[in-house]
Structure 1
Amino acid sequence: MKRVSLALSVTLLGGCTLGPDFKAPQVTGPVVWTQGSAASRTVDKGISPQWWGIFHDATLTRLITRAAQANLDLKAATARLMQAQAERRVIGGDSQPSVNGAVSYQRARNSQEGLQDISGLDGKRAYNVWQPGVDASWELDMWGRARRELESASASVEASADLRRAVLLTVQAETAGDYIQLRGIQAQRATTEQNLTVAEHSLKLTSVRLSDGVATQLEVAEARAQVAAIQARLPILEQQQSHLINALSYLMAEQPGALSRELNGVKPLPLTPVEVPVGLPSQLAQRRPDIRAAEAQLHAATAEIGVATADFYPSITLSANAGLQAMQFNQLGQWGSHFYNFGPGLNLPIFEGGRLRGQLALRKAQQQEAAVHFQQTVLKAWHEVDDAMVDYDTHQRQRQKLVTVVEDSQIALDNAQRQYIAGATDFLNVLTVQQALLDAQQSLVISNTNVSMSLVRLYKALGGGWEKAYPGGTV
C-alpha cells in the first residue's frame, strides 16, 4: 500500500497539461523593401531606438523625452501593464499551497432546553472557548489547469507591455509630427512676411509713379489689393501655429499655451538625411509592438483552451487542520487540547447543464478570433510600411520639381519688376508673377513638411526603435 500510495502521489504531483501547446505563427513578407528613386533613400540598416535623432534637432529630442515622461496616455498604459503583472502574481499564488493561521476566543452559554450541551454545564452558566490553529490546503494541478492559467496570464503581461510600447511609439510619432508641422507653419509665415515686404515695396513704387503721372489709379489699387491678400494669410497661419503648440502641450500634459515661449520664433524645418535606415523586412514582426501584442494575445487565448479543457476532469485538494482547543487558557499547553485532521478531497463534475462545453467552445472561438486578428495585424503592417515608403519617395520627387518652380518664379519676378520700372510691361504682369512666386514658395515649404512628416509615418509603420525595458521588469 505504501508503494501504491507513493506511485499515486508522484503521478498526481507530476500531472499533465491539457489543451494545445502554443506555437508562434509564421510571418511571411517581402524579402527586401521597395527602393525609391528620390535623393534620400531607404537602406537596410538597423534602426536606432531614438529614431527621431535622424532629424538632428535638439528641440525635437527634448520634446519627445518630456512627452515620454509626462504623457497621460502612456501613464495609463503603464498602469494597465502593472495591473496585468499584479494579476499574474495573483494567479501564480493560486497554484501554491495556502497556509493560514487563526486564533479565536468565544464567551458562550448554551440553552438548557435546546440540543445536547457539549460543555457539560447544562446551560447553567457561561463558558470560554480558546482555539488557536493552522489551516492548510493545496489543489493538485493534475491536468495543468493552474499552469495554463499562469501561461495565459504571462502572455497577457507580454501583450500589455507591447501595447504600452505601441502607445509610446504613437506619442513619439505625434510629438515629432506636430513639431514638424509647427516648424512648417512658421516657415510659411516667414515666407509670407517676406512676400508682404515685397508687395508693400511695390505699393510704394506704384504710389510714387502715380504721383509722377506714370502709373494709374488702377495699378495702385491692384498693388494695395495684393498687400491685403498676403496679409489675409497671416491670421490663419497664426491660428494653426497656436493649435499645434497646444497639441504639443497636451502631449506633455501641460496647460494650453505652456510651450508658446519655447516654440515661438522661426527655426529651420527638420529635413531628411541622404540615407534612411529602415532595418530588414524580416525584423518587422519582432519590432512592431502591435504585431507582438497580437501574438501574445493569441498565446493567451490558446492557453485558455487548456484551462477550459481541465475543467472537465476531477480535481483533488489536499487539506489539513491542526490546533488547540480548551475552555481555560492555561489548558492550551496540555496534550489533550490538541486536535488535527487531514486528507484529500475529490471534486468530480457530473452535471453542469452544458456550461463546461459552452465554456470550451467559447475559448476555442476566442482563439480563432485572436488568430484572425494576428493575421490582420501583420497584413495591415505590410500595407502601412509600403504606403509610407511610397509616400516618402513621392513627396521627395514633388519637392525636387517645386525647387525648380521657385527658382524660375524668382527669376521671372525680378525680370518683371525691371521691365515694369522700364515701362516695358504693365503692373498686372508683376502682380501675377509675384503671386505665382508666393504660391510656389508656400508649396515648397508644405512639400518639405510633407517629406519630413512621411519619414515620421514611415518610422511609425516600421515600429520605431526598440524599448526593451518596461516598469516592473523586462520582456
Structure 2
Amino acid sequence: MNRPMARGLRTAVALACAVWLGGCAVGPDYARPALAASEGFSPKPLPEVTASAPVAAGGAQRFVRTQDIQAEWWKLFQSKALDAVIEKAFAANPTVESAQAALRIAQENVRAQRGFFYPTVQASYSPARTKIAGNLGGNSPGVQGNGTVISTTANPSAQEGGTAPFNAPVIYNFHTAQLTVGYTPDVFGGNRRQVEALEAQATYQQLQLEATYLTLAANVAAAAIQEALLRQQIASTREIVELNTQSVALLNRQLKAGYASRLDLALQENALAQASQLLPPLEKQFEQNRNLLRALTGGVQDVELPQTFDLASLQLPESLPLSLPSQVVAQRPDVRAAEEQVHAASAQVGVAIAARLPQFSIDATWGGAASQFSQMFLNSGRFFSLTGNIAQPLFDAGVLKSRQRAAEEALKQAQAQYRATAITAFQNVADTLQAIHSDARALRAAVELERTSRTSMELIGRQLSKGYVDRLALLTAQQNHHQATMALAQAQAARLGDTAALFQALGGGWWNRVAQASPGE
C-alpha cells in the first residue's frame, strides 16, 4: 500500500472513530412502565396460617414472606414419581426444544447485528481473457508496465488511402485483485438501538424458555394430582358398586326365601345401576389424563408411563412462600417477558428516528491490475480509491415519518400490554391465595361430612337389621356416604393443586437454578 493511500485510510478511520465515539443514540432511553403501588393481594390481610383437618393433605400451611422459592419447587411434594416425570418432560417435551431454538435464534441475531459496528473487508481476484473488437478501437487497456501494448489494430482509413483490413481485434489476459473496505459510522445510534432491541428480544426468548419450563412442570404436577384424585374416586366407586352387587345377590336369595319384597330388590338394583353409571366417566377421565401425561413427557401413546400417582404419595408442603407484588413483577417470566417487549419497542423508536437523519458511509479500495499476474502490484498496476458519502432523505411521501409514528404507537401498545400482564399476574396470585384458604376450610368440612355420613350409614344399617327402618333409608345413607367420600378426595386434591398453582403464580423459582443452567440442557 503506497503512502498516500495509507495516510488516507488512517485519516478516514480516525474520522470515523471520532464520529462514532462522539455520536449519540437518538430516541427514548428505556424506562420500566410504572405500576400502581401495591403491598398485598387483598384489601384485608389474609391469615398467615390455613385451616387444618385430620386427614392426608389436611395439614395447616403457613405463609412466610421471607421464604424464597426453590427452583425445583415440585420436590416439596416429596414424590419421587413426580420428580421423575417432570425431569422426563423437561428432557423430551418438544415445546422445550422449540423454545431453546427460539432463544438461540435471537442470540445469533444479536451477534449478527453487532457486526455492523465494524468495517466490512472483502478481497477479490478476477482473472479474465478478453477479445475486443477492432471496431471498438480505444477501449483496449493500452501500454502495460512491462512495456507491452494491449490495443486493437488501427490501419489507415479508406479516406487516407488505406486498404482493408482497416482494423483488427485484440485478445489478451488481464488480472485484477483488490481489497475493499466499507464502514458505516453509527453517528446517531440507529444500529445501537437495533442491537438494544434485539438484545431485549433475546432476553424475552430466555424468559419464554423459563416460562415453558414453569408451565410444563405445573401441568405435569396438575395431571399427577388429577390422576391421584381419579384413582381415589374410581376405587371408592368400585367399592360402592361391589357392595351394591353383594346386596342385590343377598336380596335375591331373601326374595326366594320369602324374607324380602320385590320392592326392596328393585330399590337395590336401582342403586347398583346408579353407582355403575358413575364408573365409566371416571375411567374415561383417568385414561385421558394418562394420555396427557404421556404427551407432556414427549412419549407415544402405545408405551405405558411407569410412574403412577395416588393421594397418599403426595405430601402437602407445610411452609409456603409469599412474595410482595414488587417481587412478583421481578419473578414471573411472563411479566418480565412483557417488560422486554416494552424495551424492544422503545429501542425501535430510536431506530425509526435515526432512519430519518443523515446516513454516513466510507468506502476504500486498494488493489492491482495487469496483463500478467506477477505484475499486478508493481507501481504501474496499483490503484486505490477512498470515498465518503452522506445521504439525507429529502422526500419520501411521509414513509419514514409514518414508520416513526408507528414505532411510537407500538411502544404505547407494549406498555399497556405490560401493565395488563402485571395486573393479571396479581389477580392470579390473589385468586390462588384465596383458593388455598377456602379449600383448606372446605377440606375440614369434607372430613366432618364424611365422618357423619359414615356414622349415619352404620347406624341405619343396624336399624335395618332390626326392622326399624326400610331399605330405602339405608340406600340413601350409602349414597350420601359415597358422595361425601368423593367430595373428600376432591378437597384433598384441591389443596395439593392450589399449592402447585401458588408456586407457578409466584414465578417458580427459576432464578435460583444451580449454575444458571436451564433444566434439561
TM-score normalised to structure 2 length: 0.85
> Partners of 2:189 and 2:307 in 1: how far apart?
58
- Say if 1:409 and 1:436, in contact at 8 Å, map to a contact too: yes
Q: Which range moves more in the overlay, 166-175 or 370-379?
A: 166-175
* 2:31 corresponds to 1:23: yes
The SS at the match of 2:370 is coil
Q: Can you give the 5+ residue segments of structure 2 that lack an aligned partner in the other structure? A: 1-7, 52-59, 142-149, 153-167
Structure label with greater radius of gyration: 2
> Partners of 1:49 and 1:408 in 2: how far apart?
42
Q: Which AA in structure 2 matches 1:353? A: A
The within-5 A match list for 1:137-176 is 137-176=182-221
Cα shift at 1:228: 2.7
Q: Which AA in structure 2 matches 1:222? A: L
Which residue matches 2:361? Answer: 317
Cα shift at 1:357: 0.8
Which residue matches 1:95? Answer: 117
* 2:74 corresponds to 1:63: no
The within-5 A match list for 1:214-229 is 214-229=259-274
| Aligned residues between the structures | 469
The 3 A distance-change label for structure 1 pair 155 and 437 is same
The SS at the match of 1:351 is coil
> Partners of 2:239 and 2:427 in 1: how far apart?
41
Q: Which range moves more in the overlay, 36-45 or 163-172?
A: 36-45
The SS at the match of 2:425 is helix
* 2:179 corresponds to 1:134: yes
The 3 A distance-change label for structure 1 pair 386 and 375 is same
- Say if 1:242 and 1:257, in contact at 8 Å, map to a contact too: no
Which residue matches 1:177? Answer: 222
> Partners of 1:302 and 1:225 in 2: how far apart?
69
Which residue matches 2:459? Answer: 415
- Say if 2:316 and 2:496, in contact at 8 Å, map to a contact too: yes
> Partners of 1:41 and 1:281 in 2: how far apart?
19
Which residue matches 2:430? Answer: 386
> Partners of 1:394 and 1:361 in 2: how far apart?
49
- Say if 2:62 and 2:318, in contact at 8 Å, map to a contact too: yes
The within-5 A match list for 1:430-449 is 430-449=474-493
Q: Which range moves more in the overlay, 268-277 or 40-49?
A: 268-277
* 2:224 corresponds to 1:194: no
The SS at the match of 1:401 is helix
Which residue matches 1:397? Answer: 441
Cα shift at 1:155: 0.8
The SS at the match of 1:343 is strand
Which residue matches 1:371? Answer: 415
- Say if 1:111 and 1:117, in contact at 8 Å, map to a contact too: no
Which residue matches 1:40? Answer: 61
Which residue matches 2:347? Answer: 303
Cα shift at 1:193: 1.8
The 3 A distance-change label for structure 1 pair 135 and 470 is farther
The within-5 A match list for 1:265-284 is 268=312, 270-284=314-328
The SS at the match of 2:380 is helix
Which residue matches 2:128? Answer: 106
Q: Which AA in structure 2 matches 1:246? A: N
Q: Which AA in structure 2 matches 1:86? A: E
Write out per-residue CA displacement over residues 187-239 of structure 1, whole angstroms, 9 at most, x where no aligned residue: 10111122223223333443343344322122122222222322222222111
* 2:34 corresponds to 1:12: no
Q: Which AA in structure 2 matches 1:367? A: L
The 3 A distance-change label for structure 1 pair 458 and 319 is same
> Partners of 2:178 and 2:15 in 1: how far apart?
29
The SS at the match of 2:374 is helix
Cα shift at 1:184: 0.6
Q: Which AA in structure 2 matches 1:13? A: W
CA-atom RMSD, angstroms?
Answer: 2.4
> Partners of 1:389 and 1:11 in 2: how far apart?
58
Cα shift at 1:261: 4.8
> Partners of 1:273 and 1:204 in 2: how far apart?
46
The SS at the match of 1:93 is helix
The SS at the match of 2:170 is coil
* 2:249 corresponds to 1:209: no
- Say if 1:287 and 1:463, in contact at 8 Å, map to a contact too: yes
> Partners of 2:450 and 2:303 in 1: how far apart?
36
Q: Which AA in structure 2 matches 1:422? A: K
- Say if 2:16 and 2:185, in contact at 8 Å, map to a contact too: no
> Partners of 1:191 and 1:380 in 2: how far apart?
38
* 2:295 corresponds to 1:288: no
* 2:294 corresponds to 1:249: yes
Q: Can you give the 5+ residue segments of structure 1 that lack an aligned partner in the other structure? A: none
The 3 A distance-change label for structure 1 pair 6 and 339 is closer
Which residue matches 2:503? Answer: 459
Q: Which AA in structure 2 matches 1:338? A: R
Write out per-residue CA displacement over residues 121-157 of structure 1, whole angstroms, 9 at most, x where no aligned residue: 2162321111122111111111111111111111111
- Say if 2:325 and 2:426, in contact at 8 Å, map to a contact too: no
> Partners of 2:260 and 2:140 in 1: how far apart?
125
Q: Which range moves more in the overlay, 230-239 or 97-106?
A: 230-239
> Partners of 1:310 and 1:333 in 2: how far apart?
41
Q: Which range moves more in the overlay, 20-29 or 166-175?
A: 20-29
> Partners of 2:372 and 2:445 in 1: how far apart?
101
Cα shift at 1:10: 5.8
> Partners of 2:206 and 2:458 in 1: how far apart?
60
> Partners of 2:220 and 2:208 in 1: how far apart?
18
The SS at the match of 2:342 is helix
Q: Which AA in structure 2 matches 1:47? A: I
Cα shift at 1:269: 5.8
Q: Which AA in structure 2 matches 1:40? A: Q
The SS at the match of 1:140 is coil
- Say if 1:324 and 1:332, in contact at 8 Å, map to a contact too: yes
TM-score normalised to structure 1 length: 0.92
